[in-house]
Amino acid sequence: MEIDTNPLFSQPANVLHITTLDAGWRDKDTVLLHACFQLLTDFLAEEALLPIDWDESAEHRHAKAEIDALTAWWAQRAAAEAAEVVDPIWSPGQYETDNQMLVRLIQVRQYLWT
C-alpha cells in the first residue's frame, strides 16, 4: 500500500481544527457556523492552491465571486466576534445575517472540491 506523503493530505480527514473558537464551551449552533466557515477557509488555504478553472462557465465565475464575498465577510465577522464587537446571539440581526451567509455557503458547496 502506497502512503501519500503530501502534507496537504497528511492530516486525518475527520478532524477539523476550528481556529476561530477557543477550547471553551460553545453551543452547537455557534460551532456549526464556525465549522462551516473553517471548511471554506481550509479549502482556500489548501485545495484552492490546485488549479481550478473559475472561468469555465458563468456558474463557476459566480461561485468564485460568492466564495470571495463569503471569505471577506467571514474574516470581518470572526474578527468582530473575537474582539467582542458582535455577539452571535445578542447583537441585533447578527443571527439572521449569519444564517443567510450559511445558506449562501451551502449554495456554492459543490465548488469546494478539486
* Statement: residue 1 has pLDDT above 50: no
User: For the chain, what are the domain ranges?
Assistant: 7-111
Mean pLDDT of 2-19: 71
pTM for this entry: 0.85
Confirm if 66 and 108 have CB atoms less than 8 A apart: yes
Q: How many CB atoms lie within 10 A of CB 72?
A: 10
Q: H/E element holding 37?
A: helix 28-46
Angle between helices 28-46 and 58-82 (to 10 degrees): 130
Q: What is the pLDDT of residue 2?
A: 53
